């Protein structure tokens, strides 16, 4: 079997409302659907979600790097020769989302060729994951109303609160209102998206002590190495690396330097192959991991569930899997369902993200 051609298809689907956080906001999912075609008619698919304010990649740059740099070198290769393909991609630095999408599409293709669900090829630990829902920048009472609605409608009992605002009292109030309104059994953790300084993060932790918060993600820029290390050493809860750790090498640096003591894995930027390397590194060192969300579509969320459900360590915490609920529509032909606070894998060959071609035609941008 040989790779015949590679497509990078731009599309745009609006969100129901602007999603706001410390590093920016998005109003539309301007993503790229990646397809790898083979001479046997098998096609592997994956979603690439650009995040220019975080990783520097745009919809246009992902299309260019795939079509102009990667595809000419990959076409003609056997899709099972992933080592060769990754060697080709590694020659070009950065562009993690483009590389991640190609990797997931390869795994999807291999699963289809073997007639096996990819979650089983990756490990097959379980068949579903608990869901964590992200709460964005809104007044405290609106955040509580949303959390209560999602708990009632979907059975979700874990929430990630986007923080990083100034004055700090905005987020401190939100923490207190959510805990008072949701009770002690609901898990709450924070993500500042580098919005604070380390000292500001310590002040927030001091003023939210006793609320049972379970983690704080990217409180400040990891490049502020000394203050970040001081924060990690003094924090009563894990400090999670996210934007600072897109690759296995970055994970090694942050853990060894003391810049983080827990790691967020996002398949959208690592694919399944490097995510496996990151997970092995973390489990070997006894470091907790979370499965993060890059404001993914249902196609991307299904990829996260596929990887997360495959391993024991990635199922210990709820995965961030529900941001697609903020979208006006999606490309997935068989929509994801959240039942009892969980999302199940697809027990079909590949990842199971079948595309609705009519919707793709409607939302594609070329």
Q: Which residues are catalytic?
A: 162, 191, 217, 242, 266, 294
The strand ranges marked E within 85-221 are 128-135, 158-162, 187-191, 216-217
* CB 44, CB 350: distance < 8 Å: yes
The strand ranges marked E within the chain are 3-21, 24-38, 43-48, 128-135, 158-162, 187-191, 216-217, 239-241, 262-265, 288-291, 319-320, 342-344
Q: Taking the CA atoms of the chain, what radius of gyration do you get in angstroms?
A: 20
Determine the straight-line distance between the first and last CA of the chain, rounded to whole angstroms.
Answer: 29
Paired residues of 24 in beta bridges: 21
In angstroms, the CA 35 to CA 227 distance is 43
Q: Is 266 exposed, middle or buried (0-12, 13-18, 19+ CB in 10 A)?
A: buried
Residue with tokens 């027990």: 347
Picking from 172, 163, 232, 228, the residue whose alpha carbon sits closest to that of residue 195 is 163
Picking from 268, 264, 269, 257, the residue whose alpha carbon sits closest to that of residue 231 is 257
Q: Is the peptide bond before 167 cis (omega within 30 degrees of 0)?
A: yes
């Amino acid at each position: 079997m040989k790779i015949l051609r590679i497509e990078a298809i731009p599309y745009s689907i609006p969100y129901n409302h602007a999603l706001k956080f410390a590093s920016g906001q998005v109003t539309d999912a301007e993503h790229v659907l990646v397809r790898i075609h083979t001479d046997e008619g098998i096609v592997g698919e994956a979603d690439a979600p650009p995040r220019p304010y975080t990783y520097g990649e745009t919809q246009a740059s992902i299309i260019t790097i795939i079509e102009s740099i990667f595809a000419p070198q990959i076409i003609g290769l056997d899709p099972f020769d992933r080592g060769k393909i990754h060697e080709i991609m590694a020659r070009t630095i950065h562009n993690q989302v483009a590389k991640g999408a190609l990797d997931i599409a390869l795994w999807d293709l291999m699963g289809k060729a073997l007639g096996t669900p990819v979650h089983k090829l990756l490990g097959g630990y379980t068949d579903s994951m608990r869901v964590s829902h992200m709460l964005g920048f809104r007044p405290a009472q609106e955040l509580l109303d949303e959390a209560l609605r999602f708990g009632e409608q979907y059975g979700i009992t874990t929430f990630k609160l986007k923080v990083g605002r100034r004055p700090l009292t905005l987020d401190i109030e939100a923490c207190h209102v959510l805990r008072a309104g949701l009770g002690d059994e609901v898990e709450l953790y924070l993500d500042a998206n580098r919005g604070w300084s380390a000292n500001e993060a310590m002040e927030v932790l001091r003023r939210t002590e006793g609320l049972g918060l379970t983690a704080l993600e990217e409180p400040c820029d990891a490049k502020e190495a000394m203050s970040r290390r001081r924060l990690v050493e003094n924090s009563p809860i894990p400090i999670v690396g996210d934007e600072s750790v897109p690759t296995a090498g970055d994970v090694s640096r942050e853990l060894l330097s003391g810049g983080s003591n827990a790691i967020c894995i996002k398949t959208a930027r690592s694919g399944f192959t490097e995510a496996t390397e990151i997970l092995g590194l973390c489990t070997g060192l006894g470091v907790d991991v979370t499965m993060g969300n890059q404001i993914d579509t249902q196609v991307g969320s299904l990829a996260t569930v596929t990887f997360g459900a495959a391993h024991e360590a990635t199922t210990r915490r709820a995965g961030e899997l529900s941001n697609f609920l903020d979208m006006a529509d999606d490309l997935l032909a068989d929509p994801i369902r959240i039942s009892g606070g969980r999302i199940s894998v697809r027990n079909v060959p590949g990842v199971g993200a079948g595309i609705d071609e009519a919707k793709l035609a409607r939302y594609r941008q070329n």
